A and B are shown apart, each in its own frame.
Chain A
Amino acid sequence: MNVVVAKTGTGRALGDAFAVARDRLPGKGAISDLRRQAFEAYERMGLPHRRIEDWKYTDLRALMREVLPLAPQPDATALDRAAGTAKAQAIEGVRRLVLVDGVFAPDLSDLAGLQKGLTIRPLRDVLEAGDALSGQAFTADSSNPMIALNAALATDGVVIEVANGTVLTQPLQIVHIASAAAPGAIVTRSLLRLGRDAVATLVESYLAADGATAYQAHDALVVAIGDDARLDHVRLVEDATGAFNISSATVSLGAHAHFNTFGMTTGAHVSRYQLTVAFAGEGSKVETNGVNLINGKQHADTTLLLDHAVPHCDSREIFRAVVDDRAHSVFQGRIIVRPHAQKTDAKMMTRALLLSDEAEADNKPELEIFADDVTCGHGATTGALDENLLFYMRARGLPEKEAQALLIQAFVGEAIETIASDTLREVAIAAARRWLEARA
């Protein structure tokens, strides 16, 4: 058994913290049992480290060392600071749902005038009511220590239901804000259910109020997309440069459904995003695209698992990493095509651009194909900016940094342009531009 027992002092401290935190954690009965089991599962495995294949490039024992005790409940000052951040980084035209230090903040959120067929509730309320959805919010792989830990400690989140046939007229945004000056763990979990024929756009943003630095954000998103439904999903990690963001999304699709997701990481000291997509119905299509723009000593890991369990589904992946200074980008993409998943069409293309000699990018595409009538392919490249192009541009008068910026924009543009919503595409382009301007 490749179970590693965390017999470290920190493991114990966390165990004690869990005992203390339990009173704060919503959910009784079955949920409470689930949390205890999840915590025990985490304790058996401990913080993942490089000898576990999936975590080879992201050794949390070395990078994070310990899971901090839960951040305190935000007080009025914390909420004030978070309100400032939410306002400063607001995206025009979206319905904002704000979580501050892991607690749903109704006053900062926009819950008025929900369109028919849309329900939004804080996870805490759902758990405390012992609602049937509680269990669904907790469906996720407990063999992953960090997802198990999240299940054990999640304090709050958002539960969104979009009824059959409902087409949302406005994108929804879950805004995670860390306000705490004192570092702590912020553990959240959200659930999104799209009914049959429903259409929705969800943005997730991870932000830090001024002064919040070495916090740990642990988030889990569980998504169920019904038959013929469509979800567009944009995820923007703009955490503080000293912060950790260890998150997951677990998505299942019905038949003839469409999931388009784009993730961009510019923030956080260490981030890991584990996206698992399971095809449960035929004729569905998934596009998982992303961009890392990182520098300094940042470490950003995107780990994908696409499980083609049924026939006639398509998946497309475009990932672009831009890595400067001593930063480290990790992309792991695993595509499983199960024996009867014939006519699967899966393509994965990942490219990394290294802007310094000490920058590092690890690409690990993996295809596990057990069906014979499929079209699958992957490609991975790593390289520097083309010197000939740079010289041509400089010979036309562009200073080196500006020439680089144009080439980098073009490079990440190939992934950004897959975002369906004009507004959100512009948001991603603006974030990329900010990163490039900060570099110049």
Chain B
Amino acid sequence: MSLLEVKDLKVRVDEREILHGLSLSVNPGEVHAIMGPNGSGKSTLSHVIAGKPGYEVTGGQILFRGEDLLEMDPNERAAKGVFLAFQYPVEIPGVTTWNFLHAALNAQRKARGEDEISSPAFLKKVREVAKSLNIPQDMLKRGVNVGFSGGEKKRNEILQMALFEPAVCILDEMDSGLDIDALRIAADGVNALRSPDRAMVVITHYQRLLNYIVPDVVHVMSKGRVVKSGGKELALELEESGYAQFEDAA
């Protein structure tokens, strides 16, 4: 059974259809890349998988380990192991990163019927992860993402992914805003999480990221559909010729 299965998904926002029957099947251990022009619906897909309100699903299904994801609250999805690294992470003033991550991790554990993690154990864990991602300790004392640079926000997303150890990771343009060194560190962080029972969906505009995180499958999205899928060489092809050839196909 595939880990994540999107079947003929149709999604509307404000009466306008944005996804027109999109299908995607991701198996455990696989890394999928999704590429496609601005506005083709990549973030919309990631939001609908994570459960963001405001989208109307008018057709199709999203199954996670065979379960209907669309029936679940966003927090239930997170507890089951669905993780979205946001294209635009939000700032939460007045809620420290420590507190937020501790509360979130414990909420997930509670939902799974696991014991809560104590403050000292949590601190130890988060410190280790932060260190491996080159995130300074004092960033964790600040409000979530408050005053973080674009790159720091993205690294904070990877930190959370490493902390929550999800089963499916959707990375929405994690490379935007990262300098070359930060990109390498973040990609190393992602690669460290690759495992036979975890899958990743990497949304990006740039082939460069895929040199670091090498995908098993590359999908081209255009106008709310997957118009072509192939191996990692498809990304190189796109880099050369652009999306024009696929726009007609859509």
Contacts and interface: CB of A to CB of B under 8 A. Distances in A.
Interface in B72-103: 73-75, 77-79, 84, 86, 89-90, 92-95, 99-101, 103
A-B pairs with the 4 shortest C-beta distances? A410-B94, A397-B108, A397-B78, A394-B74
Contacts of B75: 394-400, 403
Interface stretch (B8-16, B21-29, B46-54, B220-228): B46-54
Contacts of B92: 389, 392-393, 406-407, 410
A400 B73 CA distance: 9
Interface of A: 386-389, 391-400, 402-403, 406-407, 409-411, 413-414
B51 A410 contact: no
A400 B78 CA distance: 13
B190 interface: no
Contacts of B51: 391, 394-395
A410 B103 contact: no
A422 B143 CA distance: 21
B90 A392 contact: yes
Contact of A410 (B73, B93, B104, B105): B93
Given A387-B53, A391-B52, A392-B89, A397 B94 contact: no
A399 B108 CA distance: 9
Contact of A394 (B73, B99, B101): B73
Given A391-B74, A403-B75, A413-B94, 10 more contacts: A388-B90, A392-B92, A395-B50, A395-B51, A396-B78, A397-B107, A398-B103, A402-B103, A407-B92, A411-B94
B236 interface: no
11 contacts: A389-B92, A392-B89, A397-B78, A397-B104, A399-B75, A400-B75, A403-B75, A407-B92, A410-B93, A410-B94, A411-B94
Most buried by B among A394, A395, A414: A395
B94 A399 contact: no
A405 to B, nearest CB: 9
Contacts of B73: 394, 399-400
A323 to B, nearest CB: 18
Interface string B37-69: 000000000000011111000000000000000
Nearest to A403: B75
A394 to B, nearest CB: 4
B111 interface: yes
B233 to A, nearest CB: 33
A392 B77 CA distance: 13
Contacts of B93: 410
Nearest to B54: A387
A239 B139 CA distance: 41
Contacts of A394: 51, 73-75, 78
B160 interface: yes
Most buried by B among A398, A407, A411: A398
A318 to B, nearest CB: 13
Nearest to A413: B94
Nearest to B143: A410
B160 A389 contact: no
Contacts of B90: 386, 388-389, 392
Contact of A396 (B53, B54, B104): B104
Contact of B95 (A387, A395, A397, A410): A410
B56 to A, nearest CB: 16
A381 to B, nearest CB: 14
Contacts of B107: 397-399, 402
A386 B144 CA distance: 15
B122 interface: no
A393 B104 contact: yes
Contacts of B101: 396
Contacts of A398: 75, 103-104, 107
Contact of B99 (A387, A395, A406): A406
B148 interface: no
A419 to B, nearest CB: 16
Contacts of A393: 92, 100, 104
Contacts of B78: 394-397
B44 to A, nearest CB: 14
Nearest to B96: A410
Given A407-B95, A414-B94, A397 B89 contact: no
A392 B94 CA distance: 15
A163 to B, nearest CB: 41
A349 B116 CA distance: 39
B94 A409 contact: yes
B164 interface: yes
Nearest to A392: B90
A399 B54 CA distance: 18
Nearest to A412: B94
Most buried by B among A393, A402, A414: A393
B69 to A, nearest CB: 13
B164 A396 contact: yes
Nearest to B50: A395
A399 to B, nearest CB: 5
Contacts of B79: 397
Most buried by B among A391, A400, A411, A413: A391
Contacts of A414: 94
Contacts of A397: 75, 78-79, 104-105, 107-108, 111, 164
